[in-house]
A and B are shown apart, each in its own frame.
Chain A
């Protein structure tokens, strides 16, 4: 059994989710190869070669893969993937964009966002916004799977010494082109990988009020998230959204401030180790999942909390 892991990277370095995906591959068992498809991606490939448990790194370095357009990368992965038993990618927007295309090209089903490996062909995955956990068994010859990063502890980023092998293939489907991107700038830890997350909801009132969350987050070394209500109201950009349609996080500590706790929000954070809810409505559903709840005005509680931690 040989497993191909598709690396999530920005050409220069690997994204953390790749390590969690390698960990899922280790749980399946077998030889693990990592594919780095990009342009000028030697740095990411070198980093992948150092991951403990990886036996080979395939580097497909070509302008066609510069922005990892699904149309191009899926042709590459489908071509390489034929000789593998499993193809894994992290369930990031990139992985979700590309892997179903790969599965269709190989004429196999895809299993989305697994949270646990039961055996080489059986996996657990959440459905209905995390309100049910399905155990599914695949009968396909090649298992194409996206991995929920928060479901697996990261593999060690160092300790491995895999060889990097160049892949000459250059697939350009000619159906799409990259125009531009607009990335939100942040000095705080990445939301999906942060140990502590402080999130604000509609109760914050406006975007300026988020400053009290930013200053609490900075004191805790935390990332700042938001509910859909806060994003839709324009308080913060949408890449901060935690939930079924945003990011799924599972930090050590999740502090929900002015968030009622709708099903769709809970889907994104209820695997956090400790949940703290700050809300003035003591009937808010968030209190049913919170380990520690405090009923009161967030504009008094948050600054006080910042002073005490």
Chain B
């Protein structure tokens, strides 16, 4: 069974982003970029499926700018067999990405498609669900346990009140939650080997997809600042403030 994994290049999660002065977006020049943390978990899960003998080939795919190749090389160093970059300089929306991924799914016919549950830049949490809808297949979102057996996948999902387990016919889409696994680090020899693995570059037009955004971002602003608080010395003082100043208890 082939496994397809989608990865996204995003601002490193430790970076405190700053909004541009002209309010057109956040400052991305000279900011450290990395693979989206949920995508790392997706790659790890695919690699573990291969180690268990369930997956035969892992294809990592990214839709993004030319330098998203760095993140695909990371995926290759972690254990993916080959990579596809669908290169576009526009900031593609989840629906366009889902349509491109659908094109790749049609070509490659994977048994399982693994994505992160959300990218930490747009915080959309849409692409996996949209891909599943377009492909007409089942989805196991926010997965914390994935078991693949006999043409089916049992996925335990993190839901608001606890956990839910669903069974999906394969092929299916799984989106990863934080607790699915702990991603490994790429070793130096594997990073070197990854440079020789195949990486195809395509364009959205190859899949007949127009990546032009449908939703226009009018402006991006910093959130309202909280006014500076105070430090209190004693618990008595804290309770007094909460009762009489803030009036919240």
Mark A residues whose CB is within 8 Å of B.
67, 69-71, 74, 92-94, 96-105, 107-113, 122, 126-140, 173-184, 192, 196, 220, 228, 231-232, 237-239, 244-245, 247, 252-253, 263-264, 270, 273-276, 282, 287, 289-295, 301, 304-305, 308-309
Contact = CB atoms under 8 A, between A and B. Distances in A.
Given A71-B139, A276-B242, A104 B134 contact: yes
Contacts of B126: 100, 103, 110, 112
Contacts of A108: 95, 214
B240 to A, nearest CB: 9
Nearest to B171: A175
B46 to A, nearest CB: 20
Given A112-B125, A276-B242, A287 B229 contact: yes
Nearest to B130: A104
Contact of B133 (A101, A276, A295): A101
Contact of A127 (B122, B179, B241, B246): B122
B215 A137 contact: yes
B52 interface: no
Contacts of B160: 92-94, 192, 239, 247
B171 to A, nearest CB: 10
B165 interface: yes
Nearest to A219: B249
Interface string B206-230: 0000000111111111110010011
A96 B220 contact: no
Contact-residue size bin, chain B (C-beta under 8 Å from the other chain): 35 or more
Task: Tell which of A67, A228, A305 has the most Cβ of chain B within 10 Å.
Answer: A305
A183 B95 contact: no
Nearest to A185: B162
Interface of chain B: mostly helix, strand, loop or mixed: mixed
B56 interface: no
A182 B133 contact: no
Interface of B: 11, 13-14, 16-17, 19, 26, 93-95, 98, 117-118, 120-134, 136-139, 141-142, 144, 154, 157-169, 172, 177-179, 213-223, 226, 229-236, 238-239, 241-242, 246, 248-249
Contact of A104 (B129, B168, B216): B129
A232 B220 contact: no
A184 B159 CA distance: 10
Contacts of A98: 129
Contact of B177 (A196, A245, A282, A291): A245
Nearest to B23: A135
A131 B122 CA distance: 11
Contacts of B229: 275, 287, 289-293
Given A102-B133, A103-B126, 20 more contacts: A96-B125, A96-B141, A100-B127, A101-B133, A101-B139, A103-B95, A103-B130, A105-B133, A107-B95, A128-B11, A133-B220, A175-B169, A181-B159, A183-B161, A239-B162, A245-B178, A263-B14, A274-B246, A275-B226, A294-B234
A235 B242 CA distance: 28
Contact of B161 (A140, A239, A263): A239
Given A97-B129, A110-B126, A304-B235, A196 B16 contact: no
B221 to A, nearest CB: 5
Contacts of A136: 215-218
A237 B236 CA distance: 32
Contacts of A192: 160
B231 A180 contact: no
B217 to A, nearest CB: 5
B116 to A, nearest CB: 10
B106 to A, nearest CB: 15
B44 to A, nearest CB: 15
B70 to A, nearest CB: 20
A247 B138 CA distance: 25
Given A132-B19, A181-B159, A308-B235, A109 B94 contact: yes
A179 B98 contact: no
